[in-house]
Amino acid sequence: MEIIEQELLQLKKSFVIQNDKIRKEIKEGTKLINLCKEKILEIERNIKENSNNGFENNTVKPIIIGQIVNKNIEIEEQIFKGEQKVLKETKIITENTSIKSSIKSCKMNIKNIFSSDSNDVQMLNVYEKIPFKNIDGGVWRQGWEITYDKSKVSSEPTLYVFVVPHSHQDPGWLETFEEYYDNKVDSILSSLSDFIVNNDDMRFIYAEMSFLERYWNKKNSTEREKIKKLVKDGNIEIVTGGWVMTDEANSHYFAQIMELFEGHEFLKNQFDDYKPKNHWSIDPFGLSPTMAYILKKSNLTNMVIQRVHYEVKKYLAERKELEFNWRQLWDNGEGKTDIFTSMFPFFSYDVPHTCGPDPAVCCQFDFLRILKYGCDWKINPVRIISKNIQERARLLVDQYRKKSQLFKHNVLLIPLGDDFRYENKEEISIQYDNYKKLFDYINSPEGFKEFNMKIRFGTLKDYFDAVNKKFEEEKPATLSGDFFTYADHDDHYWSGYYTSRPFYKRLDRLLQHYLRGADLIYSTSVMSYSKNTNILENYKKKVNYSMLVEARRYMSLFQHHDGVTGTAKSFVVTDYAEKMLKGIENCFSIIQNSLEFFLKINTNDAKIVYENNDSKNDHVVKLTVNEYMESSDTLPSSYVISQSTSLVVYNPLSREINEVICVKIDNYEMRIQDINEEDQEIRPNIEVWNKQFTFTHHSNNQNIKRNYYELCFKASIGPLGTNVYNLIKKRLPKESFCKIKGSDINVKNIDISGSYLKDEDGNDIFDIDRVNKNSEQRVDLKFDSISISINDKTGFLSHINDEVVEVSFSKYGVRSPIPSKPGGEVVSGAYLFLPDGPSTKLSSNENSYIILDGKLKKTVFVKGNEQTQLFHKTEIIESKLYVSITNDIGIMDLFDFEMAMEVNSKINSEDIFYTDLNGYQIIKRKRFDGKIPLQGNFYPMPGVMYIEETKNSGKRLSLIGNQPLGCSSLSSGKMEVILDRRLTHDDSRGLASGVLDNVKTRSSFRIILEEMEKDDTSNRSPTGFLSKIAQLTYQQMHYQPITLFSNTLLNINENILRSFSPLKESLPCDYHIVAMRTETEKCDYEKKENGVVLYNSKNSLGLILQRYAFDCSLSHKNTQSDDKCIESEGKVDLKRKMNLESGKIYNSSLTMMYSEEKEEVRQVKLTPMEISTFKIVL
């Protein structure tokens, strides 16, 4: 080794002395040594990236720029960014021995955010401590008997009480959004605004901008100005300001940001300078720190939350820690992510459970119940009169005092409201008049002497202004973690809604994908044409911006906590779905029209050639997105192309991608022009029809059959770029046709000699064979990048890279009612998961399978369990490191049935597993057998879960999904995901129905197996991070290329295509464009076209950037991945990276309520996990 080092030193000297000579001996790329850092980053994509093995300083990023090789020594020259020096490293390479080593996936150092949590309250630790005994606490059944010394009341600090009127309004649940508005909301907002104008001491808080915008649309300017003045004067406070009160379990962080953005943009345009500061989230069924971070980045300062496990509430209340600074799991201790949070202590947000611990007493102060409803505790409210005012005040004040014992200060928040309250003047008056009398008495000299209390109507602003003063000296506790899984009493865990109505959960993600793509393309167009006013005006005439606004709002509406949760009435779910489908179609229109316009204005330079000159449309390019849905409850499909055309493929990612694109064709004699034959592949169509495999496509009408094939090809597309591929009628060679292999069982069930598989001369189009089993009765499929084995009997996955990874399916039933057990009368429904015990395996004895063995893809199709109509697909793709899994299921004929997919391995994960929160961050979970029932060990999986060895080295197995579902790890080495649920019962949570509107549903996953070598620090951490490969795989799965086809062949210059991108080059792969969204101009609600408000875009947009944090302890044995992207060191020169000649970039808050148009931003520097918005003014 010393000899090698001496030789290396000599070579280094030679490099300086004989520069020209050495350059001839090393690979191309060495000539860029002396260029700037950015140029080096540019060439790195084109040369083989080496690991940082042997480098202790992970902040240093080595780049291979050349090699000198002889039989024994390979010398790699590397450049350290940020330093101008060259290092040398040697490797011993023997002639006869191939030494394989795992290649590190990245070089990011995240140790400072991977440290063990040191906050005052860490929720995983809290779960370790809580016994979960569900002890009866008396009137506060889930707590204890609260007492206080009445003799000391007068000597204690005065108690300040803010009674906060509110009306919780669901934008869809038992009625549709429009029905709720027409039947309730319109009257609520009109009645309240009229009342408050005449009663200046009345207050009100309001959260749902979706309803407020509809009110704005329906009312005249007088009514609008009335509310604006009440908001300006502080009588009404807009809280959160989001489009809806979003779910926090199933929602994706992109959608959470977008729905908040939509609400804030409406406020910014219609309420002048009003900016919400306080968050109100009282009904979502569990809370996520992702929402807290989004609010913090949007410049909100305080939060109110409600639905938290009753045992957790009790634990925090005992320690007076119901108010805390909620800190992100990955915060390095600086507290930059802290947001002050106040948690309701009791069961619900209604009046009986908010004034104090005794609901029987509190209900008597919900004065609407004098007119209707009454109280469940058999003691109804009475009007306040002079004869009873002292007794009533004492009763109420006693509850306030008891509630105040749970907090560290002398300020108390008392919500006063419920669902759709304050519906008319009578209801408002009866609450106001009776409370006013109580306030006057309590605040009077006589009352103050007895109660030492000051009380009035207030808003959240009033409350938090007072509370924050109390915490100026003694800071509140810091808390990290989340509040899942929610239970409101007994063993009623709300883990069912993680999966309920999974078809529509997937539809939500599909809309998000196309909305993000449409926003990117629209913003790119505005940027591109901003220098030419005429072109920009013509573009805005062709592309209807109002359709984009509508799509944003439909997506935002579904984030409501009875939307994406799947917990609304069936007809409301259908209404949501129809809105989402309309939103997708709007996005298609934006994408199609934008790209058509781009091609049109570049006709002269691009020299577009039309194949059919005699066509009526020979001067008009028409593009169609190659995906459609026949209805809002059918699976997406793609068109079958029957003639020569051009495929336009858009890359929605900010880095170059290399993907296999597939399109359906009705003629196997077709290919992509000017692409190597080895990079193309023809595959037959495989379906299940009438319980049998078929190569023929059957439509819903049994009499209509159609043959089609699949043409797949490799595509390389630049960042946010577009490529055109011409599809022509010309046959590929035999080598480009995949091979068909079938199981013994399968051959009995399919006619594999049908005419569909033969050409005009009667010859086989595809080679057909039986599967080849190895000695272990496995069927092996492999590429250089990955290998898998399938079980020869079931066709399901059994191994990845020779490691056991087994896929199977199971079912849960529904427990029978147990009246003798507390809460036992309730069974599974839309919200609750209450199984009849552990799952049981679904039979796979009758499985049959077909394998398509190609050079780009290798796919196993399984016709599985018949009662669930399982059609299962396992696939690997050349140069990819993941295994793709797809399940089509239909449980429409079953009852009280829940279907799960299980992934089993030999990984010793013990009782630890990890899940994501909103697709944004990872949280550590622990299975608490015995202490928490099975259903309480299920958690939301919006996108990812993984297990890994609990020791420092071993393996990690990640399961990445493209739809939100419920998941768990119920034994070591096992992951489980609930795929669908069909339930006949209501679970007593207000829906008054089961879940019986199931449709055929598709779920998709990618499985990644990685090598792991960690230290104790990361094992102790309550969070986790995906590897670079897993993070980018997740990103690619959610934001796949968008393929369109043209009505004619195009011949367009590549330089023209390359110009249609806001980026000159890829962003580093640790940077992600969450969204690029054009701002909306203030609209005039008095000017409508056919009764519809028209929206126009500004010449400014928001660029939302995120920096990923990669876990670099993960590595891969196989190194043939096509991923050559590189990481940043935190800094990105946006001005240089973007096609932005005249525009300016400024800092902004996340939703652009705040922007600093003073100092222009050129270089962006984000810390790992940070999300920030930058305003681009054109």
- Write out the catalytic residue numbers: 283
DSSP 814: B
d(CA 550, CA 536): 21
Per-residue three-class SS string for 135-203: CCCCCCCCCCCCCCCHHHHHHCCCEEEEEEEEEECCCCCCCCHHHHHHHHHHHHHHHHHHHHHHCCCCC
Q: Which of 250, 268, 28, 425 is nearest to 917 (CA)?
A: 250
CA dist 825 and 823 (Å) reads: 6
d(CA 106, CA 113): 16
Measured between alpha carbons, how far is 326 from 400 in angstroms, rounded to an integer? 26
Instruction: Please give the Cα distance from 742 to 847 (Å, whole number).
Output: 12
State the Cα–Cα distance between residues 611 and 378, nearest whole angstrom: 81
Q: What is the number of H-type helices and E-type strands within the chain? A: 26, 59
SS3 content of the chain, % helix, strand, coil (to 5): 30, 30, 45
Residues in the chain: 1178
Whole-angstrom CA distances from 561 to 75, 246, 285, 878 are 59, 5, 8, 40
Q: In what order do the strands lie in the sheet with 64-69?
A: 64-69, 73-79, 86-92
Closest to 548 (Cα-Cα) out of 559, 540, 558 = 540
- Residues 1143/1176, Cβ–Cβ less than 8 Å: yes
Q: ∠ at Cα 959 (249, 924), nearest 5°? A: 55
Do 700 and 689 touch, CB atoms closer than 8 A?
A: no
Residues 6+ apart with CB under 8 A from 1088: 1094
Contact 454, 404 (CB under 8 A): no
Helix ranges restricted to H, 781-931: none
Q: Are 721 and 696 in contact (CB under 8 A)?
A: no
Pinpoint the alpha helices (H) of 496-616: 502-529, 533-542, 545-558, 570-601, 603-606
Two tokens, residue 328: 């992100």
- Long-range CB pairs of 764-770 (<8 Å, 24+ gap) are 765/668, 765/682, 765/684, 765/737, 766/684, 766/737, 766/738, 766/739, 766/740, 767/737, 767/739, 767/740, 768/739, 768/740, 768/741, 768/742, 769/739, 769/740, 769/741, 770/741, 770/742, 770/743, 770/744
Instruction: State yes or no: cis peptide before 341, omega within 30 of 0.
Output: no
Task: Give the DSSP letter of residue 567.
Answer: -
Q: How far apart are CA 958 and CA 905, in angstroms?
A: 11
Q: What are phi and psi of 621, to 5 degrees?
A: -85, 125
Both tokens of 213, joined, read: 């915008």
For 609, other C-beta atoms within 10 Å of its C-beta total 12
Contact 852, 858 (CB under 8 A): yes
Quick check: 849 and 867 in contact, CB under 8 A? no
